[in-house]
A and B are shown apart, each in its own frame.
Chain A
Amino acid sequence: MKLKEIVEKLNLEVATPASDLDRDVSGGYASDLLSDVMANSREGNVWVTMQIHQNIIAVASLKELAGIVVVNGRKPEQKVLAKAEQENIPVMLTGLQAFEIAGRLCELGIRGNTK
């Protein structure tokens, strides 16, 4: 499934308009621990988190994630969003909690990384 379909179906707000949403999503990963995401997320994953610290962009870029969904109505600072656009990492926002967004992503057919 393409990221832009997810954005439409889950009514996400795209905080990085310059980033490219026309990319395939390989699966989902939910975590607020950067070391965990570094270790266990996979290329093309959509990452669900409530972290808005600028390190999330570095992690997503390094792991070549498809995008970041920031939950709980939180919004990263402008400089973090600017960095995201520069690295072409789409950042999407929602007022839902991580549990529900992960649940709804699964409902859309996005799968987790099981061995």
Chain B
Amino acid sequence: MTEDRSFTKIQELTYELRVRDAMVADVITVRPKQAIHDLRDMMRDKGFSGSPVVDKGKVVGLISIEDFIKCLAQGEMDVLIEQKMTRDPVTLYADEPLVHAVKKFDQYGFGRFPVIERNGRKLVGILTKGDIIKCLLKKLEVEYHEEEIHRYRASHIFEDIVADKTNLVLRYDITGKDFDRAGQAASELKKALHRLGIQPEIVRRIAIAAFEAEINIIVFTDGGQLSISVCSERITITASDSGPGIADIEQAMQPSFSTAPDWIREMGFGAGMGLCNIKNCTDEMNLVSEVGKGTTLEAVVYLNGKS
């Protein structure tokens, strides 16, 4: 992961994660009618640096170590917490995205926010800036680690598996006329090839060719298969279907020849560029078809220059 990408990833996470994921749930609370001197023991025993003041389950204020020190300086240890606390403190909802919390820390400059339930406003936790950073780092580490493992495993497959010939085949079943899912196979394939550690430029060419082949199967046939065979020197795309076949292959290869119905054109496909796109993206392309039987398209991209 590059620095740039991990930065974006952190930003994404602040939208994905909720306050609940980062907060500390085990909150030490005090009551408004307790005296300030009660805080002394809490500080000593529990490392207190600030606490929500709770009355009947609801947050009514916030008392901080700074408030305590002021009272200590002025000899006001017997006054009630409710007289010294910050009333109606700004709170966060447990289900808010973390990015809201980040904004509130910036906006108010407070060290901590009590976290409450949206319904019932019951106190459920407390959140400091440190908690947010800890949570993000943990999550980032897990995700980074997972992707690393995927990539490592996938990109070493050809070294790990010792055989005279290793050939990895990815097969996608394409449902005919299912335009809703059109593009999904190519998009998934692209991700898989990235994980295999194939050069981005080659991944792009294969994905474009596969996308066009996928669209052709969906638009013109009742279904078929898209197979991508990866070995150490080349990637082969095979798209096959069982009907209706192409009558004149030479004509079909003309840029702009198309038999696509109007509705397909209105969906953004069928302008007669598909086969040309496949041809332009790959090193070799071969199309075999028999009317009434089916069509098989094979296209090859060499990984280390053309052999």
Contacts and interface: CB of A to CB of B under 8 A. Distances in A.
Secondary structure call for the A interface: loop
B248 interface: no
Contact of B256 (A33, A35, A55, A77): A77
Interface stretch (A13-21, A46-54, A60-68, A107-115): A46-54
B191 interface: no
Interface in A74-106: 74-77
A38 to B, nearest CB: 11
B266 A50 contact: no
Contacts of B255: 74
Interface string A26-56: 0000001111000000000000001111010
Nearest to B270: A53
B43 interface: no
Contact of A52 (B256, B262, B266): B256
A32 B266 CA distance: 8
A38 B148 CA distance: 51
A75 B265 CA distance: 17
B128 interface: no
A8 to B, nearest CB: 27
B271 interface: yes
Contacts of B271: 32, 50-53
A75 B268 CA distance: 19
B262 A55 contact: yes
B258 interface: yes
A34 B256 contact: no
Contacts of B266: 33-35
Contacts of A77: 256
Interface string B260-273: 00100110100100
A4 B281 CA distance: 38
B154 to A, nearest CB: 37
A77 B255 CA distance: 11
Contacts of A50: 271
A32 B262 CA distance: 12
Contacts of A35: 266
A53 B255 CA distance: 12
Nearest to B255: A74
Contacts of B258: 53
Nearest to A51: B271
A35 B268 CA distance: 12
A44 B195 CA distance: 52
Interface of B: 255-256, 258, 262, 265-266, 268, 271
17 contacts: A32-B268, A32-B271, A33-B265, A33-B266, A33-B268, A34-B262, A34-B266, A35-B266, A50-B271, A51-B265, A52-B256, A52-B271, A53-B258, A55-B262, A74-B255, A75-B256, A76-B256
